Amino acid sequence: MDLVIDVGNTFVKFAVFQEDEIVFQTSTEVFNFEKEFKNILKKYSKIKDCIISSVGNLNKDDYKLIQKSIHVLVLDSETKLPFQNKYKTPKTLGVDRLALVSGAVKLFPQKNVLVIDAGTCITFDFISKENTYLGGAISPGIRMRYKSLNNLTANLPLLETKLPEHFIGDTTGDAIHSGVVFGVLSEIEGAINQYMHKYSDLTVILTGGDANFLSKQLKSSIFANSNFLLQGLNHILQFNKAE
């Protein structure tokens, strides 16, 4: 058994894998990391290896706890990856994006894959059927767009995410919803069309916190997978264990 840990800014996701299958999954706030980690090791005593991906802040004591308990692989720009990385600034490439591309390699081998992660930011990552990662794009996520309209203007309110009934907003609130939600949908559809124009046999994956909300509205044929990043991290761990 292996343990996958994905550390965000506020929450930590844990997943216990038996080979390629998730047998247990949970999440907790970062401050509660030690308690949850110990509970998992107590429940799954056969865990021997762990991979950790962190885009947030995990304190030194938590890292020491992991390293003292099991063998751990900390994902960074030096980690061996199951694909060729053509990104020109690999040290600035987020570890979450590395994991997503690895998930594409594992689940869709020898295919042109565009992975769209709709979370705090919306990231687009493309890997070719030759197993080569070429890069992608980064733009603000849905909540970031709502917050920026409120923070950077004097009079616009901060609204909760809502699917507009019509693309023409006849109130300020409806206009904000239309601009944010339909703007994101149009951006994603536009990106997919650009990639498909060059790669007609494209496979599109949508993941991240807003994936379910967006997938219901997108016209393009996509696969929605909420566990894609965790599966990618597990693939990186297995790849390194086999080396």
Residue 94 counted as an annotated binding residue:
yes
Would you say 142 and 210 are in contact if contact means Cβ atoms under 8 Å apart? yes
Q: Which of 96, 170, 201, 210 is catalytic?
A: 96
Ligand-binding annotation for 9, yes or no, is yes
Residue 136 labelled as part of a binding site:
no
Does 11 count as an annotated binding residue?
Answer: yes
**203 annotated as a binding-site residue:** no
- Cα(158)–Cα(160) distance, rounded to whole angstroms? 7
Amino acid occupying residue 62 = D
At position 192, the amino acid (one-letter code) is I
CA 192 to chain centre: 18
- Residue whose C-alpha is closest to residue 87's, from 101, 73, 106: 101
Residues 227 and 15: beta-carbon distance below 8 Å: yes
* 87 marked as part of a ligand binding site: yes
Burial of 188 (0-12, 13-18, 19+ CB in 10 A): buried
- Would you say 183 is a known binding-site residue? no
- SS3 state at 131: coil
Is residue 12 a known part of a binding site?
yes
Q: Catalytic site residue 174?
A: no
**6 carries a ligand binding annotation:** yes
Is 10 annotated to bind a ligand? Reply is: yes
Q: Which amino acid is at 207?
A: T
95 is in an annotated binding site: yes
In this structure, are residues 19 and 66 in contact, taking their beta carbons and an 8 Å threshold? no
Q: Residues annotated as binding site for substrate? A: 87, 94-97, 172
Q: Residues annotated as binding site for K(+)? A: 117
Active site residues: 96
Q: Residues annotated as binding site for ATP? A: 6-13, 120
Q: Residues annotated as binding site? A: 6-13, 87, 94-97, 117, 120, 172
